[in-house]
Amino acid sequence: MKSILPPRFIVERDLDRCIQCQVCVTQCGWDVHYFDEVDQVVRSRDELCVGCHRCVAFCPTHALTIRERQLDYRRNANWTPEVLEDIYKQSEMGGIILTGMGNDKPYRNYWDNLVLNASQVTNPSIDPLREPMEMRTYLGAKPERVEIDPETMDLRTELAPQVPIEVPVMFSAMSYGAISLNAQESLARAAAAAGTMFNTGEGGLARPLYKYKDHMIAQVASGRFGVHPDYLEMARILEIKIGQGAKPGIGGHLPGEKVNEPVAATRMIPVGTDALSPAPQHDIYSIEDLAQLIHALKEATRYTKPVSVKIAAVHNVAAIASGIARAGADIIAIDGLLGSTGAAPKIIRDNVGIPIALAIAAVDTRLREEGIRNRVSIVAAGGFRNSGDVLKAIALGADAVYIATAALVALGCHVCQMCYTGRCSWGIATTRPDLSKRINPEIGAERLTNLLRGWSLEIKEMLGGMGINALESLRGNRLHLRAIGLTEAEMQVLGVKQAGM
């Protein structure tokens, strides 16, 4: 069948600048650029371009420009080019339209409608260059109170396991297989350097990364890929994955093409087989079952590690979180509407779930109302773009956040949304050796550490501006937030006042 899908991008080559070096040919993972042997000239096939800008970044003479091809269909507010092209695609292929990364639709991004406070006159702002500014956060269940022996002044309280992080930003679950080993190693190294955590996702931990175990969150997902006693034993935090913001309610699928030998060994599956993670965990059909798995993991590791439960932010997130806290979890990770993925049905990514800001507020409020907020740490995920977003999430009530898209962007990702193909020209979402080697874990880690350092400095400046010198004094401090352009109902859920009030 002839495809009637038009190319999405136009590749413009400035022939005055092009020196025919063919760097674009070797860099493109999509076979867009090619050397025409007959005419002895570099040409391109626009229809294959995904807009990842790998060629643009590497062209030594800046001869390349990639433009979005804006076709002037007859103007229609409902039948937009995207809608038409999705239908062309499905009518040609059948099946579900796949995509990667996070929801790209213009839903209200609540961080853009919230503003932070600063001190003026009555309470001085604090200069982080002169004064200590503390960001250390301990993840884990906290007891109701501390008990001290009144006679000896000895501490009687023994806390459940706590994991410290020096910056309230962790790398979210990205499995080996979904991303390259070099990309995962970059994350692991950066987490170690910055005093935070990376998350293995549902792909297990590859042997070369064992040395980063002290900064590893081991995910136990519905496919149980890569889960073995040493894996649990090595981790600092265990995370049961129930759901993911990009695809609430459905499972995962790593295509067999990405399952090469090392991926297969890590996941403990045969080479070339699809790694299918079922939608539910087949041993969890109720909150009681979840409690059993939480305690099974705690028993298996002799109660030495906090257990996190990761869920997608959905309508009833507050009630679900309350159940999870009561089921014995130490951490609840909530992944919002903008959460990313290596592969998801586009229709689900773009239509299911609720924004993370609303979920954080609803969960924090609910757990406080029930008097159990101390029993769990809340980790928020899904579309955190900068340190401002992070700090607003903490002011709403999160203990820390997970980032994934921002971390991959630091490694070079241009959010072209083609992760599910395994052809990532940036060497991130691929297991092809020729592409994976484009990431040097040392340089990747340096880029990520720089990003975290930049965000840390910014967070300290903002905290100091509010006259606060420890992050825990902003946690759940919604008085330091104001809303702009939100409805009464939205402000009520967020628990924030209108700016000016």
Of residues 158-197, which lie at the interface with another protein (CB under 8 A)? 159, 162
Handedness of CA 484, 490, 494, 495 (dihedral sign): positive
173: amino acid identity, one letter: A
Counting contacts by CB under 8 A, is residue 229 touching another protein? no
**Residue 333: both structure tokens together:** 């990770």
The answer to the question of residue 393 lying near another protein (CB under 8 A) is no
Cβ contacts of 355 within 8 Å, gap of 6 or more: 107, 108, 109, 110, 313, 336, 337, 338, 382
Q: How far is the CB of 49 from another protein (least distance, A)?
A: 49
State the minimum distance, in angstroms, from the CB of residue 153 to another protein: 5
Q: Could you say whether residue 283 binds another protein (CB under 8 A)? A: no
Question: Which residue's structure tokens are 């980063």?
Answer: 212
Considering only 346, 414, 423, 475, the residue that binds another protein (CB under 8 A) is: 475
Least distance from another protein to the Cβ atom of residue 208, Å: 31
> Which helix (H) or strand (E) is 255 found in, with range?
none
> 328: which DSSP letter?
T
Q: Does 129 bind another protein (CB under 8 A)?
A: no
392 counts as binding another protein under rule CB under 8 A: no
Binding another protein (rule: CB under 8 A), the pick from 132, 229, 270, 500 is 132
Token couple for 81? 């080019």
Helices then strands, counting H and E runs in the chain, come out as 15, 21
DSSP one-letter string for 81-115: HHHHHHHHHHHHH-SPPEE-SS--S----GGGGEE
Question: 150 or 500: whose CB is closer to another protein?
Answer: 150
Binders of another protein in range 138-157 (CB under 8 A): 138, 142-143, 145-148, 150, 153-155, 157
3-state secondary structure of 217: strand
Q: Which is nearer to another protein, 293 or 466 (CB)?
A: 466
**Of these, 36, 122, 270, 489, which contacts another protein (CB under 8 A)?**
122
Which of 137, 200 has the CB closer to another protein?
137
Site string for another protein, 348-377 (x = CB under 8 A): --------------------x--x-xx---
Of 64-72, 92-100, 122-130, 403-411, which segment contacts another protein by CB under 8 A? 122-130
- Tokens coding 496: 């924030």
Euclidean distance between CA atoms 278 and 283, whole angstroms: 11
- Token output for 240: 């049961």
Among 225, 322, 476, 493, binds another protein (CB under 8 A): 476
| Of residues 393, 398, 411, 363, the one with CA closest to residue 174 | 411
> Is 235 one of the binding residues for another protein (CB under 8 A)?
no
List of residues 6+ apart from 45 with CB closer than 8 A: 31, 32, 34
Q: Are 388 and 355 in contact (CB under 8 A)?
A: no
Q: Which is nearer to another protein, 337 or 367 (CB)?
A: 367
Distance CA 371, CA 215 (A): 31
Q: In the complex, what is the shortest distance from the CB of residue 476 to another protein, in angstroms, rounded to a whole number?
A: 5
Tokens of 332: 């609840």
Nearest CB to another protein, comparing residues 12 and 147: 147
Can you tell me the distance from the alpha carbon of 227 to that of 315, in angstroms, rounded to the nearest whole number? 31
CA dist 498 and 501 (Å) reads: 6
Q: Does 432 bind another protein (CB under 8 A)?
A: no
In the complex with another protein, which residue's Cβ is closer, 253 or 480? 480
Residue numbers 82-121 binding another protein by CB under 8 A:
119
Give the footprint of another protein on this chain (CB under 8 A).
Answer: 119, 122-124, 126, 131-132, 134, 136, 138, 142-143, 145-148, 150, 153-155, 157, 159, 162, 368, 371, 373-374, 466-470, 472-480
